Amino acid sequence: MGSVDLGAQWIAAIRAGDWEAAWQINDRVLAARDPATQDDPTLPYHLRWVWDGTPPDGKPVLVRCYHGLGDTVQFARYLPVLRERAARVTLEVHPDLAGLLGATPGVDRVVPFQLDAPLPPEPCTLEIMEIAHVLRLPPPPAPYLAAPSAPPETRPLRVGLCWQAGGWDPARSVPLALLAPIARLPGVVLVSLQRGPAAEEVLAPDAPPFLNPRDRSLDAAETARLIAGLHLVVTVDTVVAHLAGAMGRLGWVLLRRDADWRWPQAADAAPWYPSLRLARQDEEGDWTDPVGDVTSAVAAEVSRLARVRRARVGS
């Protein structure tokens, strides 16, 4: 992003919804870049810059996805708008997302990213998180990923859980045992949305019961299908939160106190994903209050569905 000060200013602008200020900061950073460092292979992927300022209008565009899976899902909302201006759009994406985003409007071709064989540049090449700056466009609204209709309002309440984020920020993860009170609520059944090594935790003798304890698929399209069949999602800050929000499904995101820039600091709603509610730590590392708040919210949803059933029976 540039200097620490510019990075902090950009985050402040994004959190305030001041997109013009954010783009002006992006303009300054772009103007100061050395063209010789474009897509620098000596840097970690998430630190590389790709777009050199070439407009996408009427050109073949290659969109590289160098950030995390959640970042890619979050900024995939821009792809249909980008396609309106480009001659065609090729998306080079993590293999776990290829099936899901292959059906996204605005993408002509999806290619699973290979570390040893990246695609050659197109006349306009950019990284997916640069699209907002390229288009100078505030976030298109969610939902933007297709999902089947919501599950019927019948018992039991199907709640999807994801408790561990990526290993690069363990502070985002919640011990599965802390979420066990949700499983003990009458009328609730759990579906595991956890992927990676932590998914094995559901097989422990003291783990809460799940409908799919041996599900280990890493395909985001499979996770999206699970989410589509749920009444409610409870997740930490990871790709599952982005999938649920992009699909417009009701959910809660458990956040550490020092949460990422995409989640507002003083609100319980998520502007990027209006269907999600936020439960943040009061003290860094203490999940007591956010987990308690979410457990109460799940209990309230059980009661709401019970009222719906009684009303239908009485009608």
Of the pLDDT bands very low, low, confident and very high (cuts 50, 70, 90), residue 250 is very high
Q: How far apart are CA 168 and CA 186, in angstroms?
A: 36
Residue found by looking up tokens 């297709």 in the block: 146
**116 pLDDT more than 90:** no
Alpha-carbon distance 188 to 100, whole Å? 28
Q: Does pLDDT of 306 surpass 90? A: no
* Tens digits of residue pLDDT in 145-192: 986 655 555 668 999 999 999 877 899 999 999 999 999 999 999 999
Domain ranges of the chain: 1-32, 40-135, 157-314
- Token digits of residue 102: 């292959």
Using CB atoms within 10 Å of the CB of residue 38, give its burial: 0 to 12 exposed, 13 to 18 middle, 19+ buried: middle
- The percentage of the chain sitting over the pLDDT mark of 90, rounded to a whole number, equals 80
Digit-coded pLDDT (tens) for 73-94: 999 999 999 999 999 999 999 9
Q: How confident is the model at residue 56 (pLDDT cuts 50, 70, 90)?
A: very high
Provide the pLDDT for residue 2. Answer: 47
Q: Judge whether 157 and 301 are in contact, CB under 8 Å.
A: yes
- The pLDDT of residue 153 is 59
The values of phi and psi at residue 93, to 5°, are -135, 160
Fold of 157-314: Rossmann fold (3.40.50)
